[in-house]
């Protein structure tokens, strides 16, 4: 990442692929910090905010969305070429997103049911994360991403340091925040123990179980969690559904959702 | 360890009786303390600031089992007939997050974190023992001045435990159920008529008692109070045989039980977060957007998180759940003695109740001991 030599600010670009725009909106949602951010980086390409397009190359590219079409598979290579650093923002770009549910089925069948003229649809069989297509410098999790974490990542790249984005479970955030454990005290199914922190334990703070928006934590034992979730009354099809949401094709969640699970290995 | 004028177990004055907690709460507030006591929130007993007796959980009990916590309405007038709350005193002695220092350019600015005057009402004997453990950690060889300030600002009002929970084992750990040391005031709640015996454990405790309406305790009061603790001691939900644990637990390094417990362990960190003595933390450095201001802060961390044993350019030292669980249990019950001269466990049972998959340390210890041949069998 370039330093601000001779008064020039690093140039940032924000790109959209298959996604809902929620993560890009998180950047615009940085209302109080947006002016100070703009003072430090030149937001050169951000169609969600402005149709004025500054030419590349860019020092930092934030990429939202997954790759689902042949055109996008080509476009992400272009983005990589014009970007010094590439950071994915959100579950789609990092894990394939909710649209990766197509990976478990036949996308042609979906198209035939949804579209009047399915032959007009040119789409790939799978929805893949950016890292499956080009090298990625950092992956920011979440559906959507967390505003504080986004600012932290940009700030860290400005300071040429490692972002403080812990990969431990949501349980840590619950305890830091003082949330009651909804699994233990209420019997509410919760994916917190296998989900990476980052949201600030938002759902448990409102007595809801964690939905796993931030994907698997660094070390998970979903087999043990599933045993508990079954005790709480969840059926096998329900277990499949809770893991198959925004991070369905993340390896640990994929294994967690599969009926015939082998013993889970820790990441070494 | 003498903090805040505590004088240990010798009562500074004879045990007295108070009919209501209202004057006590008011006296503490007048002395500048925020009174923090048990309240019901989100279907659990949580420690939170209270303004009057009305805020206390009258008639509320709890049922605690491995991985399971439920409130139970009794409907009587008792205010403290429940076992350990998920909140220990740790939240007040060692807050989850605290700033350490800030740098503006090259200049270091000390950050003086607040040490609020807090009166903790309803502390149990196990919690007092846990505070004593933390005192040895933070005021021992490398005293932490911020911890000391917070500790001195903490006024501790024990309420002797009358209804231990299904996961309690303070008797095994020698820490309860009766508070004998480390408090400013120790209360025992008595029924028919509803009243409290009060014992002072410090000068400042005695001063508070002197300022509120009270009468000397008669023999009936004293006998009733002794009965509360005697009966509580017979109601432990769990038991641990600690004999020789410093030897047999570390020696059980290769016990097959570690594989078994690791298959149930989520590595979620809940046990360590609710543990009143687990003190591990990490430091995080952040910068602001301009890069001018840098801040270092400390937050609770856990030996169950993978990052905890990460070394530069190396894989984590304890990469498997097995290694992490073994490290935690062995340290807590055995090698803690080598480091701090006591057990790291006070028998509060929180790690059992709040483990989502219900891992029971007492059961694991018993299985590990049996598996290493160190049983109590005489044949």
pLDDT (tens digit per residue) in A35-59: 999 999 999 999 988 888 888 899 9
Which domains are present in chain A? Answer: 5-158 (3.40.50.700), 170-257 (no CATH)
Domain ranges of chain B: 16-233, 245-371
Give the pLDDT confidence score for residue B4 in this predicted structure.
44
Chain A residue with the nearest C-alpha to that of B314: A268
With contact defined as beta carbons under 8 Å apart, do B82 and B163 qualify? yes
State how far the Cα of B113 lies from the Cα of A150, in Å rounded to an integer: 27
Residues 6+ apart with CB under 8 A from A176: A201, B96, B97, B299, B300
State how far the Cα of B355 lies from the Cα of A174, in Å rounded to an integer: 14
Q: In the structure encoding, which two tokens stand for residue B276, read together?
A: 């009143």
Nearest CB to A166 within list B265, B286, B307: B307
With contact defined as beta carbons under 8 Å apart, do A104 and A110 qualify? no
- Are B43 and A186 within 8 A, CB to CB? yes
For range A127-133, the mean pLDDT: 98
Give the pLDDT confidence score for residue B315 in this predicted structure.
84
- Interface check A164 vs B, CB under 8 A: yes
Report the percentage of chain A scoring pLDDT > 90: 88
Instruction: Tell me the average confidence (pLDDT) per consecutive run of 10 residues in chain B, 379 residues long.
Output: 44 83 98 98 97 97 97 94 96 95 92 91 98 96 94 97 96 96 98 97 96 96 97 96 95 95 97 98 93 94 91 86 97 96 97 98 95 49
Give the pLDDT confidence score for residue A55 in this predicted structure.
85
Give the pLDDT confidence score for residue B374 in this predicted structure.
44
Average pLDDT, chain A: 92
Chain A residues within an 8 Å CB radius of B96: 175-178
Nearest to A267 by CA among A215, A216, A193: A216
Give the pLDDT confidence score for residue A7 in this predicted structure.
52
Q: Is the pLDDT of residue A5 over 50?
A: no
With contact defined as beta carbons under 8 Å apart, do B221 and B17 qualify? yes
ipTM: 0.92
Give the pLDDT confidence score for residue B8 in this predicted structure.
43
Q: What residues form DSSP beta bridges with B79?
A: none
Give B 107-146 residues with CB within 8 A of chain A: none
Give the pLDDT confidence score for residue B373 in this predicted structure.
43
- Count contacts between A and B (CB, < 8 Å): 144
Give the pLDDT confidence score for residue A56 in this predicted structure.
85
Distance (Å) from the C-alpha of residue A126 to the closest C-alpha of chain B? 31
Give B 143-182 residues with CB within 8 A of chain A: none
Report the percentage of chain A scoring pLDDT > 70: 94
Nearest to A86 by CA among A53, A146, A129, A115: A129
- Are A224 and B357 within 8 A, CB to CB? yes
Give the pLDDT confidence score for residue A258 in this predicted structure.
85
**CA B234 to centroid of chain Cα atoms:** 21
State how far the Cα of B261 lies from the Cα of A221, in Å rounded to an integer: 12
Give the pLDDT confidence score for residue B119 in this predicted structure.
98
Question: In this structure, is the dihedral angle defined by the CA atoms of residues A237, A239, A240 and A241, taken in order, positive or negative?
Answer: positive
Q: pLDDT band at A259, cuts 50/70/90?
A: low
Radius of gyration of chain B (CA): 22
Nearest to B231 by CA among B162, B182, B178, B183: B162
């Amino acid at each position: 990442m370039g330093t601000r030599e001779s008064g020039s600010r690093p140039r940032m670009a924000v790109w959209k692929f298959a996604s809902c725009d929620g993560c890009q909106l998180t950047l615009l949602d940085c209302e109080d910090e947006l002016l100070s951010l703009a003072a430090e980086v030149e937001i050169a390409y951000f169609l969600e905010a402005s149709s004025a397009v500054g030419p590349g190359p860019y020092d930092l590219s934030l990429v939202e969305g997954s790759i689902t079409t042949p055109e996008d598979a080509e476009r992400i290579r272009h983005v990589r070429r014009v970007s010094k650093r590439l950071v994915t923002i959100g579950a789609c770009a990092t894990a394939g997103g909710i649209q990766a549910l197509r990976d478990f089925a036949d996308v042609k069948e979906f198209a035939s049911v949804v579209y009047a003229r399915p032959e007009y649809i040119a789409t790939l069989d799978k929805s893949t994360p950016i890292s499956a297509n080009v090298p990625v410098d950092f992956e920011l999790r979440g559906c959507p991403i967390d505003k504080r974490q986004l600012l932290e990542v940009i700030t860290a790249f400005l300071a040429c340091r490692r972002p403080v984005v812990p990969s431990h479970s949501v349980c840590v955030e619950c305890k830091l925040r003082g949330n009651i454990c909804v699994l233990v005290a209420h019997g509410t199914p919760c994916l917190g123990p296998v989900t990476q922190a980052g949201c600030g334990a938002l759902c448990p703070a409102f007595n809801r179980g964690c939905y796993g928006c931030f994907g698997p934590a660094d070390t998970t034992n979903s087999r043990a969690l599933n045993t508990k979730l079954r005790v709480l009354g969840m059926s096998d099809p329900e277990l499949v559904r809770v893991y198959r949401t925004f991070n369905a094709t993340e390896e640990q969640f994929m294994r967690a959702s599969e009926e015939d699970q082998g013993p889970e290995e820790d990441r070494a | 360890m003498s903090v805040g004028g505590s004088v240990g177990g010798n009562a500074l004055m004879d045990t007295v009786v108070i009919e209501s907690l209202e004057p006590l709460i008011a006296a503490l507030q007048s002395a500048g303390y925020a009174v923090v006591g048990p309240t019901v929130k989100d279907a659990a007993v949580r420690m939170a600031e209270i303004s009057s007796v009305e805020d206390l959980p009258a008639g509320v009990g709890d049922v605690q089992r491995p991985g399971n916590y439920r409130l139970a309405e009794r409907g009587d007038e008792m205010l403290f007939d429940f076992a350990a709350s998920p909140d220990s005193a740790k939240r007040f002695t060692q807050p989850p997050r605290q700033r350490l220092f800030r740098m503006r350019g090259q200049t270091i600015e000390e950050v003086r974190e607040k040490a609020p005057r807090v009166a903790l009402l309803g502390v149990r004997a196990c919690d007092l023992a846990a505070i004593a453990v933390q005192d040895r950690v933070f005021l021992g060889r490398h005293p932490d001045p911020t911890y000391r300030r917070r500790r001195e600002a903490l006024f501790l009002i024990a309420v002797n435990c009358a209804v231990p929970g299904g996961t309690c084992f303070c008797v095994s750990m020698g820490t309860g159920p009766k508070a004998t040391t480390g408090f400013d005031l120790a209360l025992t709640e008595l029924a028919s008529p509803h009243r409290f015996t009060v014992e002072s454990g410090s000068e400042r405790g005695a001063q508070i008692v002197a300022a509120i309406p009270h009468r000397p305790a008669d023999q009936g009061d004293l006998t009733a109070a002794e009965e509360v603790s005697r009966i509580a001691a017979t109601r432990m939900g769990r038991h641990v045989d600690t004999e020789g644990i410093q030897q047999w637990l570390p020696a059980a390094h290769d016990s097959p039980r570690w594989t078994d417990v690791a298959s149930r362990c989520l590595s979620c960190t809940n046990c360590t977060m609710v543990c009143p003595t687990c003190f591990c933390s990490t430091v995080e450095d952040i910068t602001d957007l301009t890069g001018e201001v840098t801040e270092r802060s400390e937050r609770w961390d856990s030996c169950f998180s993978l990052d905890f044993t990460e070394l530069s350019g190396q894989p984590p030292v304890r990469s498997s759940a097995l290694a992490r669980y073994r490290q935690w249990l062995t340290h807590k019950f055995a090698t803690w003695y080598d480091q701090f001269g006591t057990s790291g466990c006070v028998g509060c049972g929180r790690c059992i109740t709040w483990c989502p998959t219900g891992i029971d340390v007492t059961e694991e210890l018993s299985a590990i001991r049996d598996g290493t041949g160190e049983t109590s069998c005489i044949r």
